[in-house]
Amino acid sequence: MKSTTVRCLALAIAAALLTGGCAPDGVYQEARISDVGGFVDPTRRLEPPGGLPYCAEEALRWRYDEAEEVLRLADARVPLACCGERTLTLERVDSLIEITERDRPRPGRCDTSCVFDFAVTLPAMAPGPQVVRLLRDVSDAQGGPVLVWQGELDLHGQTGGSITLDSKPAPGCWEHKPRRPRFLLR
């Protein structure tokens, strides 16, 4: 967990430096990758209230705050090998946003499948059409990055949406249950 957090933080810092840091209101470009099982907090994966259960589909979700000009994207329930090393890169050129989710084997690969969430926050996104290209690169698979989805999001007057990427059940997926507070009895 620490190595994933540190790697994501390093990527977020590098991306912020390369893209000019932060927006005038202090919102930084940010990339996050969950631990095994996805983000526990459903707001991190932009889960809508009353939406489908987490394990029902892999979905690319987005939220846009027009007043702040901030776009948030989350790829929820991404099936990958449990014992890989995941990274996320983000390139932004004019109205093109390219997100690459990478999965590399640590020493060896396991046969167990788990799910993960990938999320990015992009400041300084003016209203209007934006092309999003989502790629997945499992480095020990043949052929390099694979196009998962490409399409246009019209941010003018829109606050969000969801695109189903895969509706097949994912092995290694479980629903998050609200945690009950634990009390220490003395």
Instruction: Reply yes or no on whether the pLDDT at 15 is more than 70.
Output: no
Give a yes or no: residue 17 inside a domain: yes
Give a yes or no: residue 179 inside a domain: no
Q: Which of 117, 112, 97 is nearest to 172 (CA)?
A: 112
Question: Strands 129-138, 96-105: parallel, antiparallel or unpaired by DSSP?
Answer: parallel
pLDDT score, position 164: 94
Instruction: Reply yes or no on whether the pLDDT at 182 is more than 80.
Output: no
Q: Give how many domains the chain has, as a whole number.
A: 1
Q: The whole model's pTM is what?
A: 0.78
Tens of pLDDT along 162-175?
A: 999 999 888 778 77
Give a yes or no: residue 16 inside a domain: yes
Tens of pLDDT along 46-94?
A: 988 777 888 889 999 999 999 999 999 999 999 998 888 999 999 988 8
Give a yes or no: residue 171 inside a domain: no
Give a yes or no: residue 52 inside a domain: yes
Q: How confident is the model at residue 177 (pLDDT cuts 50, 70, 90)?
A: low
Q: Which amino acid is at 17?
A: L
Give a yes or no: residue 149 inside a domain: yes
pLDDT score, position 4: 41
Residue 134 domain boundaries: 2-166
